[in-house]
A = this chain, B = another copy of it.
Amino acid sequence: MMQSSCWVNGVPAEHISVTDRGLSYGHGVFETLPIEHGTPLLWSLHRARMVSSCQRLGIPIQSVVEAVEQDIRQFLANQTGVLRITITCGEGLRGYRMPDTIVPTRILQYLPPTTYPNEPARVGIKAMLCQQRLGLSPSMAGMKHLNRLEQVLARSEWQTPDLQEGVVCDIDDYVIEGTMSNLFMVKAGELHTPSLDRCGVWGVMRQHLLHLAERESIVLHEGRYRLDDLLASDEVFFCNSLIGIWPLVELSPHSFVIGPVTRKLQALLEASYRVC
């Protein structure tokens, strides 16, 4: 098996400049996704998010995307595992002002496939309710940018390995997402997921599942939900590009069953990968 490997701007490297604005200010974005036999899964969705986020952050991206795709072909042909792609605004001077000439930094990190013991997709997971709240910042909402302190603090609330995710609410007590995943609820056969217009990350898997559900004519709702709404749901699951769909079976002291809509979406997801 290939060991972890890293390329910076198209050459093997494990370091970046301390003047990189990705470090100085978190001025950049990242994508983490599975790669199978050299093919990054759901790449068009990851690429689209990367491009739109960079545009929002003033990072010229078009030539960078092409370079990333070339890197993947060149360095990761036939590889299976996890790929993290980081794009930053590149090196800068002191101060928030963007440099007159922006040369983005692109970083590809390859990691071996992640294995999750105890088959969480099949048997479901236990989660906790995090104390950490997500702030409200519409101008930042949706992006997978490098400013991730709220997620870091939320994830630091548990150490025990039998908890696999945390439910995170915003400062107005609306349920938003997991620390590393998006959240779906099922009620009376219809699918509900929190709006992400004020905080949260527009997950690629969330978007993919919304497409799959729409194609199956499952009724979809995006809205603002309280914890009580979550607790009153028939089914709850988390999703992201690496884990797929993880059903929630326990948010202590509450338990949930893994229901038919969750199982159907898992099957549709599996099938969609085979088509890709």
Report which A residues bind B (CB closer than 8 A): 6, 8, 13-27, 30, 32, 57-58, 82, 84, 86, 88-89, 94-98, 107, 109, 111, 114, 132-140, 145-156, 171, 179-180, 199
Q: In the assembled complex, how far is the CB of residue A257 from the closest CB belonging to chain B, in whole angstroms?
A: 28
* Complex Cα spacing A199 to B137, Å: 10
Q: Is the CB of B97 within 8 A of A156?
A: yes
* Complex Cα spacing A27 to B149, Å: 6
Q: In the assembled complex, how far is the CB of residue A98 from the closest CB belonging to chain B, in whole angstroms?
A: 6
Q: Is the CB of A22 within 8 A of B23?
A: yes
* Complex Cα spacing A138 to B138, Å: 16
* Complex Cα spacing A272 to B36, Å: 63
Q: In the assembled complex, how far is the CB of residue A153 from the closest CB belonging to chain B, in whole angstroms?
A: 7
Q: Is the CB of B97 within 8 A of A138?
A: no
Q: In the assembled complex, how far is the CB of residue A82 from the closest CB belonging to chain B, in whole angstroms?
A: 7
Instruction: Tell me which of B14, B15, B147 contacts A147 (CB under 8 A).
Output: B147
Residue of B nearest to A88 (CB): B23
Q: Which residues of B contact A199 (CB under 8 A)?
A: 135
Q: Is the CB of B146 within 8 A of A139?
A: no
Q: Is the CB of A156 within 8 A of B58?
A: yes
Q: Is the CB of A95 within 8 A of B18?
A: no
Q: Is the CB of B147 within 8 A of A148?
A: yes
Q: In the assembled complex, how far is the CB of residue A255 from the closest CB belonging to chain B, in whole angstroms?
A: 25
Residue of B nearest to A30 (CB): B24
Q: Which residues of B contact A57 (CB under 8 A)?
A: 149, 152-153
* Complex Cα spacing A136 to B86, Å: 26
Q: Which residues of B contact A111 (CB under 8 A)?
A: 94
Q: Is the CB of B156 within 8 A of A98?
A: yes
Q: Would A145 and B153 be within 8 Å (CB), given that A14-B17, A16-B15 are in contact?
A: no
- Besides the known contacts A23-B86, A135-B137, A147-B147, 11 further A-B residue pairs in the complex with CB atoms under 8 A apart: A16-B16, A16-B23, A22-B23, A24-B146, A25-B148, A27-B148, A96-B151, A96-B154, A97-B155, A136-B137, A137-B150
* Complex Cα spacing A94 to B86, Å: 12
Q: Would A94 and B82 be within 8 Å (CB), given that A18-B15, A136-B137 are in contact?
A: yes
Q: In the assembled complex, how far is the CB of residue A30 from the closest CB belonging to chain B, in whole angstroms?
A: 8
Q: Which residues of B contact A138 (CB under 8 A)?
A: 133, 135, 171
Q: Is the CB of B95 within 8 A of A84?
A: no
Q: In the assembled complex, how far is the CB of residue A151 from the closest CB belonging to chain B, in whole angstroms?
A: 5
Q: In the assembled complex, how far is the CB of residue A169 from the closest CB belonging to chain B, in whole angstroms?
A: 12
Q: Which residues of B contact A179 (CB under 8 A)?
A: 96
